[in-house]
Amino acid sequence: LSGCQTKPKKAAIKKLDLATVIVAFGDSLTHGQGVDVGKHSYPAVLERLVRVKVFNAGIPGETTAEGLARLPRLLEKGIPHLIILCEGGNDMLKGVDEKETSANLGKMNELIRSKGTEIVLVGVPRLRIPYKTADLYNELAAKYNVPLESAVLAKLEGIPAFKSDEIHLNEQGYAIMANAIYLRLEELQKEPR
């Protein structure tokens, strides 16, 4: 009866337009630590690329547990069309169990989707050489059919010329991150829904 099986829909997002509101939610990599946040953080650069409002909701030092606690308050202020979720690095730095990190990100995904908001997940690498996106991001993307940008941070973390310190990016690094997310958003808008 293989003809009766339905293929899961490809992860996609609605077409962005002038009314679209995007929230970049995460920790210091979203906030833009190491650069002028208003000009050179990845949300600021992304806003110029997509030509729609991108709110920077990055909090330096935030863990996924703290992000999960903060998310409902953010959603009470208004429902964005899209949330770009980039969080988990501080969990790794603090030795939080990966299952807890994954569970927190999963609950964030469920909460975001329950509001009718779309989500794009940004994979965070383990902070050791060789830099490789933690497996939990691919697992979450598959489990929830969530679009994932999995490569950019792992690539940038391995190139000192794109960093302002051991973890955070510089202007050029955040610009590359924003461009990778922009290209992923463009690609996702072309996927059949």
Per-residue pLDDT, 1: 40
Per-residue pLDDT, 171: 98
Per-residue pLDDT, 190: 81
82 with 13: CB under 8 angstroms? yes
Sole residue written with tokens 């290209």: 183
Per-residue pLDDT, 69: 98
- Mean pLDDT for back-to-back runs of 10 residues, the chain (193 residues): 47 85 97 97 98 97 98 93 97 96 98 96 90 96 95 95 96 98 93 65
Per-residue pLDDT, 17: 87
pTM for this structure?
A: 0.92
Residue 153's Cβ-side half-sphere holds a number of Cα atoms within 13 Å equal to 27
